[in-house]
Structure formats: structure tokens, C-alpha cells
Amino acid sequence: MSINCIRTLLENAVETHGNKIAVTHEGKSITYDELFKRVNQVAFYLRELDLPKDARIGIYSNKGIEQVIAILAILSTDYILVPLTRLLKPEQVEYIINDCGIQCIITDRLKLESIEEINFEGHVISYETTSKDVPSFEEIYKYYNKPYECDISGHNNAVITYSFGLTGTPKGIVISHRNLIDSARVVSQYLDLQEDDVISGLLIFNLDYGLNQIFCSLYKHATLALHRFILPEDFFNHLMNDKVTVLPLMPVNISEMFDDEISRIPSPELFEDLRIITSSGGNVTAKMISDCKKTFRNAEFYSMHGLTEAFRSTYLDPSQVQIRPDSIGKAIPDVELYVINEEGKECAPREVGELIHRGGYIYRGFWNAPKENAERFKSIQILKDVINLEGQLTDEIVVATGDYVYKDEEGYLYFVSRHDDMIKTRGFRVSPYEVESVVAKNIPSIDRCAVFGLENELIEEEIVMVYSATSELSEEEILFELKKHLASYMIPSKIVYKRFLPLVQSDKNRVNKDELKRELADS
């Protein structure tokens, strides 16, 4: 058995901590011994399906202990896990099924109807017994009790994850067992996770950040406490009742937790056990950090920046979070990061360029997407003017992230925008984030602001700013303030007031710029 596969983590945990609670959810719990037994039973059944090696198996269900069992069972075979978040609509599930050729889906009673709506022709397995035609975990636990052994290579493909954005069709990213092990190892290292930690399983398991909570728990023989965020009150009860010590979040979770409409937040004394908060998947604001610090007084806050093409690039040390809250930090262990301009030269401090990720945690690539792979996965030669390649092998792969960032004089990185968000106007590249930051810092009467480009034949794109506020401000007042802080080519040519801005459904912190563009184009 490879030392670089998830199955090895599970076997090691059982050998040394078999009687310890592995997973809890809504008052139910399962020990590592019990988890191992259930995983083996399901894995044995899956292998008897006699699917070809590397066959894709989807999990489309609500959160629960059975979902964790299903994930670990698939990773105990030579099949590939494809997580399908419960938030996906049937047509989105059908797209993924067709894109990567899913041959089996594991689901629950609630999602079974959605699968029937798709007319899926592969194998379907349900957690609960629903009918004679659909095998269930309940039946598998009853009848499959033979010994199960497997030999998984760390180089095998383990997972294909998909994320649906606002536009375009999603592409699956292929992740190996070695990738999963490396990500659990590095996170456990820089967070200093301990075996007596209780890690919150709040995040959904469709992407690597959420899955990492399972694997970190296995790696450190810790306890994973599952929870589904519906109401802040329930969430706070989860932290207290489960005695959570490590809390992985996304910025949207922090916003929901400290929503202005919430009348009462529990006393900080009730969260003395919480020692670590992590955040990834979006920009963290100073208010979010402040809210967390007030309520979770003993917790160190780690702000992190990850990639689609690699597990993670940076984290900001907790000692710096309140000093430079806008920074995404510095490289995590085993990663080198470079900021280069369009000529391939390394950028000077404060000069915006593309972030290049070299070293560990780089994934296999996009599934059936040669164009995207060519855009993102590059030869080390892209850094030939930055690092000394003399005598080195030149087939090393790095990730050209498409993230535009800059470094300050102390080497801390700051995210500016995605490559696709950059506005090209009058021969210049303008970052919407730069303009939005000036508005946020200097015009406090503006609640939210969105800056983007609209096609203009004369100047490529014109810069448009749409803002929300209690009442409309004079355009002259806004322009006067912007001109004090921005170059002339960065000044918006069109300023639009709206009482409320449309937000991205999955992230209350992000304005839906595509919807605004459509509105302005139609008008």
C-alpha cells in the first residue's frame, strides 16, 4: 500500500485510535473502528460492481456520516470520486455525468427523485432502503461482512471536482491521492493541528477545501463534527455542543454568522475552546476579522488563498491579520510564488503582475479540457528570466494562475483581480479592484460598488461604476474623490446609482457583475 493515499490514513487511524470518535453529526457519532468497518463494506460492494479501473462514481446527497463513509469507500477502490453538491440542479448534475462519464451515483432518499428526473442509466445506490430496485447502505451493512483489502497507488487519480460559476460550463479538475495527502499534511503542519482537536465539518464536500477537513481529521486522528449552516443560532449551538476547536469557513459564512439582523450573539465565554479559524474562497474584510475576534477571543484567524489548479498558494499568519487585512499572505510550505509582468520579468514591489505557482500541491489538470490546460499549466520556462534554470530539468510544470497580484516591500501578496476581470482601455490594463478599493476607503456613504468594463469600439472598453447607497450622490462629488487617488485612465466614464446591487447567490460578499452588465447592455 502506498504511503500517499487516503486509505493509508484511515488504516493508521484505526490501528492507533480505533475507539476514538471519528465523526459526529446531529447527536450521532461513529468511532474509527466503526467507520473502517462501514467503509470496507461499501468498498467491497462497489468493487463487486466490476466497473473498469478509474470509473467515476458520483456522490449527490445531503451531509451526514453516510456521506463521509461513501467518500472514503470510493477512495478505498481504484475508482474516482466525483462530489456533486446537493445545491446543484438536475440539469447541472446531468452535465457533470455526461462530461466525465459517471457510471454510478451514491445518493440519499431526498436526492433520489432528482436522479430519476435525469434518467441516469448507471448504477444508483441510496443510503436508506427505498425500493427493491435500488440497493442501499442499510442492506450492504447487513449482508457484506467479508474481509476487504486493497492496494492504492498514490499516483492514482482520486477525485474530480467541479464548480459552477456565473458564466460558461464548468471544467472538472483532476486530483490524485498524493495531492490529497500532501494537502492534509501541509495544513496540519502550518495550523499545528492536534489529535484532540474537533474540526468543524461545516463546508460542503464538493471542493478540495471542504474535503480537506475529512483528510486532516484522519491525518491527525482528530474528530470531525459535521454541520449544515441554515441559521446562525444553530451554527453557534454546533460550536458549543460539539466543542469545536478548529473552524474552517468561507467569507460568506462569516457574513451570515454576524448578519446585522441577528439580535443576539452568544457570549464570547462560550467559545473558549475554539482556537483556530481558517477562511478561503473569497476576500476577507476588516469587519469580518473584527467580528470573529470579538466573539472568538482565543481563536487565531488564518486567511488563505487557494487555486483551482493547485490546493493552496498562500496563507496570512494570524499575527498579520489585523495589521494588513487586505493581504493574502505569503507562500505556504513547499511552494514558491512569483509575480511576473507580460514580458516575463519579475515585478517590482507594488507592480501588478500574474501570480505563478511553483512547487507542491499542483493538481493533474482539467478533465477533457486541453485549451484550459494549455492556459494554466506551463513549462518552468515561463520563469526563465526570474530564476536560474542552468542545469535544471526543464519539464517541470508550474501554474500560471490567472490571478493578478502585487507584493509589498516586505513580500506580502495582495490580490488585485482575475485575468478575465481586467479592463483594457486606451492601451492600459485597469484592475476593477483598485478602483473599488479607493471607493471603499474614501467614500463611506457608498454601501457597495462594482466596477467593470463595457465594450467601446473607440477605446476597447469603457470603465463603468455602479454603486448603492442610502441616497444618490452627485457624480461630481464621486469623480472629485476618485481623481485625488487614481490615474486619469482609471476614472470611470459612466457612474450609475442603484438602491441595491444584485449579489451572487452563493456569496453575499460578491456583486453579480454579469447581471449588471446585462442590465446596462439592454438599456
Q: pLDDT tens digit string along 111-139? A: 888 888 888 999 999 999 988 789 999 99
Domain with residue 513: its CATH number is: 3.30.300.30
Residue at a domain's end among 361, 386, 418 = 418
Q: Are residues 29 and 74 in the same domain?
A: yes
Q: Where are the alpha helices (DSSP H) in 49-157?
A: 65-74, 90-100, 109-118, 137-143
Q: What's the whole-number average pLDDT of the chain?
A: 91
Q: What total number of domains does the chain contain?
A: 3
Residue 506 predicted with pLDDT over 60: no
Average pLDDT for 256-267: 76
Least confident of 45-49, 248-252, 484-488: 484-488
How many other CB atoms are there within 10 angstroms of residue 422's CB atom?
20
What confidence category does residue 311 fall into, taking pLDDT thresholds of 50, 70 and 90? very high
Domain with residue 350: its CATH number is: 2.30.38.10
Q: Are residues 98 and 19 in the same domain?
A: yes
Task: Tell whether 257 is covered by a domain.
Answer: no
Q: Are residues 449 and 480 in the same domain?
A: yes
For residue 422 the three cell numbers come to 481586467
Which strand (E) or helix (H) includes residue 286?
helix 286-295
The long-range contacts involving 509-512, CB below 8 angstroms and separated by at least 24 positions, are: 509/251, 509/252, 509/255, 509/282, 509/283, 509/285, 510/282, 511/448, 511/449, 511/450, 511/466, 512/166
Residue among 272, 275, 323, 325 nearest 303 (CA): 325
- How many alpha carbons lie under 13 Å from residue 425 in its C-beta half-sphere? 22
Residue at a domain's end among 351, 384, 418 = 418
**3-class SS letters over 143-202:** HCCCCCCCCCCCCCEEEEECCCCCCCCCCCEEEEHHHHHHHHHHHHHHHCCCCCCEEEEC
Q: Is the dihedral of CA 166, 172, 174, 180 positive or negative?
A: positive
Average pLDDT for 50-58: 97
Q: Are residues 430 and 510 in the same domain?
A: yes
Average pLDDT for 401-426: 87
Q: Are residues 11 and 131 in the same domain?
A: yes
Residues composing the chain: 523
Domain with residue 142: its CATH number is: 3.40.50.980
Average pLDDT for 157-183: 85
- Pick the more confident residue, 169 or 267: 267
Task: Tell whether 272 is covered by a domain.
Answer: no
What confidence category does residue 487 fall into, taking pLDDT thresholds of 50, 70 and 90? confident
pTM across the whole model: 0.85
pLDDT of amino acid 457: 74
Task: Tell whether 259 is covered by a domain.
Answer: no
Q: Are residues 36 and 132 in the same domain?
A: yes
Q: Are residues 370 and 498 in the same domain?
A: no
pLDDT tens per residue across span 314-337: 999 999 998 998 899 999 999 999
What confidence category does residue 167 fall into, taking pLDDT thresholds of 50, 70 and 90? very low
pLDDT of amino acid 84: 93
Task: Tell whether 106 is covered by a domain.
Answer: yes
pLDDT of amino acid 427: 67
Residue type, 260: D
pLDDT tens per residue across span 217-243: 999 999 999 999 888 889 999 999 999
Q: Are residues 94 and 147 in the same domain?
A: yes
Residue at a domain's end among 388, 418, 448 = 418
What confidence category does residue 185 fall into, taking pLDDT thresholds of 50, 70 and 90? very high
Q: Are residues 357 and 335 in the same domain?
A: yes
Residue-number span of the structural domain to which 73 is assigned: 7-176
Task: Tell whether 455 is covered by a domain.
Answer: yes
For residue 156 the three cell numbers come to 492514482
Average pLDDT for 300-305: 95
Task: Tell whether 166 is covered by a domain.
Answer: yes
Task: Tell whether 494 is covered by a domain.
Answer: yes
Average pLDDT for 455-479: 91
pLDDT of amino acid 166: 43
Residue 87 predicted with pLDDT over 90: no
